[in-house]
Each structure stands twice: as structure tokens, then as C-alpha cells.
Amino acid sequence: MFRNPAAPGESSASSHGADPASDIQQILFTEEQITRRVGDLAAAITRDYAGRAPLFVSVLKGAVFFLTDLTRALRLPVEIDFMAITSYGSARAQSGVVRLIKDLDVEITGRDVVLVEDIIDTGLTAGYLLRMLQARSPASLRICTLLDRPYRRILETLDIAYRGFEVPDRFLVGYGLDYRERYRHLPFIGVLKNEILAAEPPRDVAAAGGSV
């Protein structure tokens, strides 16, 4: 797996070389474990929303991998839509101050809406999004997150209807999660090697105009 030759001019000796998987110190969830758990969540959602046609909304870009796998496992008529936001503050010290840079394309008034997240950490991003969506009077609004890191929660009132896995306080990449926009495409979720985090600390998301 991931034994592609280095791109021309790229050094395979660098930490960002030909094999991104070699930057991972520990795999937390394999592709098979993720598929199984996503299937469990989809089965629960299919049961809970029987007879309805929910709208799944997610934030670019991290949650897109989960959203596409989750919705393909549903046995319901579903629609999907996307938002894009910019968070202020460093990648791991988010302020919860979020600016919407792309809104949903569809109206959600009267709809059954499921907000799909990759990971809920402090909960500030999800809290902001919930308030914004709730103001548009959906018929219902629930959160479905693949990963939950409750130890770092700041917004303690957040109600999570569907959660894939609880995760430890380690910086994770893969299956949509990035470090400086890399590693999103890895099919598993793993802990990034410390030397990579130490070499290039998470950049300031606001300065970079990054997406979550």
C-alpha cells in the first residue's frame, strides 16, 4: 500500500515523501473498522428516518469522506449539501469564531437536517453551525459525527445523536482529517508521528484561510 514512486523532483527521504502512510505512528481505525462502523451508523439512521427524506449537510473538506460513505450506506431518499467555513485561531486552539465562506445551496426550512462532522473536539465549530442552521427553522436537526473527543469539549451542551468512535487526545489524520491539508486521502485513521508535528507546527488557520 502507498508504494508509489516519488513525484519528479520530490525527495522520498522527506517526511512528506512518496509514502504518506510512513508518517503515521499508529493506526487507530483500519479501513475495515471504519466501513463497519459507518454501516452501523447508517443502519441506525435508516431506522430512525424511515418514511422521511433527510438532508445531510457537511462542512468542506474534512467531513466529505465520511458523508459520501455514510449516505451510500443509507436506505433512504437523501439529499446532500455543503458549507465552507474559515475558523479563526490556530488549528488546535480554535476560538469558535467561524466565518461562513460558502452557504448551503438549498433552503432547510421544514426539512429534517443531519449535520455530518468528521470530528468534534471543542465542539465550538459544531455549536456555531447548529445555531446558524436552527435559526432557519428546520423540522429537525441532529448531529452525526464519525469521531468524538469529549475530553477537550468546551461546549458541554452539545447533543450528539450519532457517533462513530470516541478518540484519545492525539492529533489524528486520514479519512478526511488533515494536517496542513495533507493525509486526507489515507483510507485509515492514524496518529501522526511526533517529529512531523514538531517540524511544522499546525499553521494559523485564519492566516492561511484554511478550511476545517
How many residues in the shown chain lie near Mg ion by CB under 5 A? 3
120 counts as binding Mg ion under rule CB under 5 A? no
Cell numbers for 96: 469558535
Residue 48 CB neighbour total at 10 angstroms = 15
Q: Closest Cα to residue 173, out of 135, 119, 123?
A: 119
Which stretch, 27-35, 54-62, 102-110, 186-194, contacts Mg ion (CB under 5 A)? 54-62
* Residue 144 near which of Mg ion, ligand IMP, none (CB within 5-8 Å, type-dependent): none
Q: Which is nearer to ligand IMP, 17 or 202 (CB)?
A: 202
Q: Which is nearer to Mg ion, 49 or 179 (CB)?
A: 179
Q: Closest Cα to residue 124, out of 149, 101, 154, 145?
A: 154
212 counts as binding Mg ion under rule CB under 5 A? yes
Please, which of residues 160-189 interact with Mg ion by CB under 5 A?
A: 178
Contacts of 161 (CB under 8 A, 6+ apart): 114, 142, 143, 144
Cell numbers for 69: 460513505
In whole angstroms, how close is the CB of 4 to ligand IMP at the nearest point? 23
In whole angstroms, how close is the CB of 76 to Mg ion at the nearest point? 28
Q: Which is nearer to ligand IMP, 46 or 161 (CB)?
A: 161
Which residues lie across from 102 on neighbouring strands?
84
In the block, residue with C-alpha cell 436552527:
134
At 58 the three-state DSSP class reads strand
Catalytic residue among 121, 159, 169, 204: 121
Q: What are residue 23's phi and psi, to 5 degrees? A: -90, 0
For the question of residue 103 being annotated catalytic, the response is no
85 counts as binding Mg ion under rule CB under 5 A? no
Interface contacts to ligand IMP, rule CB under 6 A: 62, 94, 118-126, 171-173, 177, 212
| DSSP letters spanning 76-97 | S--EEEEEEEEE-SBTTS--S-
In whole angstroms, how close is the CB of 204 to ligand IMP at the nearest point? 14
With vertex at residue 89, the alpha carbon angle to CA 168 and CA 68, rounded to the nearest 5 degrees, is 55
In whole angstroms, how close is the CB of 9 to ligand IMP at the nearest point? 28
Q: Which residues are catalytic?
A: 121
Write out the residues near Mg ion by the rule CB under 5 A. 62, 178, 212
